[in-house]
Amino acid sequence: MRIKRLARAALGVCALGLWSVAGASAAGFTPGSPGLGDPFFPFAGNGGYGVSNYALTLDYTPGTNQLAGTAVISARATQSLSRFDLDLRGFEISRLLVDGRAATFTRDGEQELVITPAAGIPSGTAFTVTIDYAGTPAVVTDPDQSIEGWVPTDDGAFVVNEPQGSPAWYPVNDNPRDKATYDFSVTVPAGLTVMANGVLVSSTTRGQKTTWVWRENDPMAPYLATTTLGRFDLTQYSVDGIPAYVAVDPQLPKGQVLAKLPEAVRFYSSIYGPYPFDSVGAIVDSAKVVGYSLETQTKPNFPAMPDEATLVHELSHMWFGDSLTLAQWPDIWLHEGFATWSEWMWSEHEGNKSAHQWFKDLYNKPAQDTAFWNPPPGDPGTAPFLFNGTIYYRGGMTLQALREKVGDYAFFRIMRDWAQQNRFGTVTTPQFVALAKQISRMNLDAFFDVWLYQPGKPTSW
């Protein structure tokens, strides 16, 4: 399959003239890799460049589920590129430019968009890709059979992407290691609201259409982007100077849980360090077919009115998952175990069940309950187990066991330093282990091996 694709790309470049091909080859220009080798999603993301900004101009018609878009992608080559890939599922492409010049492209597999520019791009050079595309955005089914991507609702779309839904609606270097800033301009029928990441810049109605402009100025992993849209009651306020945007589907039952948002932000800021982003909020839509909430950066998406534990779980992800993001998907416990423990800490903060009691109750699950204890959180094994319950609960128990082993002073310093030292970065489990050992001044290798990697119920640590 790769050989055939190379042949097609070479033929496309010939249409531009043999000089650019020969020149690129002579200068040592080579193709960027078609994936970044993630153990679960090896072709997610692409090599040879890094993206600094996505400017997405979208126009969506809910009645026909048609999306037209222009993506302007600002990037910088990390090698001398003869060609490079983006990730995009479906859509007809009507124009593709690299630095304003027409480029050839081919499609390969489910999501590889293979782009050959008119001339090679030297390493270290900034370049811009402009893509006009249109069609029906995809709903992606994951290995665990959950769905994501651009999911139509009765009045719009619920847009969530973890772990591989982003290419369903925009061309992207779809790997969490390549964070970028985002600009969104989304046009929808008048009366609908578009909720995207970051700060609301403007909302302008002309005739029967409204254009919503949002800007996310902080680095964001591609899967955390959203443009959920529909009929919403939108409330805007401030949390200690941070703009807050809370959108609720008016068809859903009203509740008081969202009033806890400011207090939760303040509480997690007190233990993990300052809130990392330039806005905060929540999107509550009627999207029961999705069946899960997601920590989309600055504004978690909820498919129904959340309970308090779900709300604080997703808000804690702003520190662990969004600002600090895994480098490879098998390390998902660094998101979900931390957010689960954060739920327990919130409960403790509110004077309800303590994190120790949560740990004790869960640890009393019998060893014979292998579905509860396996797979271990540091080694999900295969992609269908990426969001298995053990990743959440045994992951959270790992943190509480660490707290009780090293003591509160060292533990809370570990958690705060972990969040602050890795602000807007990507991380691995060995990095967390190293920090815990450094701060506690304890040899924790056996502890983490038992809790994160050994199958079955931990019995000695």
Quick one: pLDDT at residue 9?
35
Pick out the chain residues at pLDDT < 70: 1-27
Which residues in 117-259 belong to E strands, given as ranges?
126-135, 139-141, 147-152, 157-160, 180-189, 193-196, 199-206, 209-220, 227-230, 233-239, 242-248
Quick one: pLDDT at residue 152?
97
Q: How many of the other CB atoms lie within 10 Å of CB of 441?
A: 8
Quick one: pLDDT at residue 27?
64
Quick one: pLDDT at residue 185?
98
Q: Are 234 and 214 in contact (CB under 8 A)?
A: no
Quick one: pLDDT at residue 460?
83
Quick one: pLDDT at residue 6?
31
Quick one: pLDDT at residue 406?
98
Quick one: pLDDT at residue 74?
98
DSSP 354-383: -HHHHHHHHHTS-TT-HHHH-S-TT---SG
For residue 301, the one-letter residue type is N
Quick one: pLDDT at residue 461?
86
Q: Are 422 and 321 in contact (CB under 8 A)?
A: no
Which residue carries 């026909």 as its tokens?
64
- Give the DSSP letter of residue 282: E
SS3 category, 241: coil
Q: 179: closest CA among 224, 239, 212? A: 224
Q: Are 110 and 19 in contact (CB under 8 A)?
A: no
pLDDT in tens, 73-127: 999 999 999 999 999 999 999 999 999 999 999 999 999 999 999 999 999 999 9
Is the pTM here over 0.85, yes or no?
yes
Burial (CB count within 10 angstroms: exposed 0-12, middle 13-18, buried 19+), residue 309: middle
pLDDT in tens, 287-325: 989 999 999 999 999 999 999 999 999 999 999 999 999
Q: Are 254 and 246 in contact (CB under 8 A)?
A: no
CA distance 334 to 337: 6
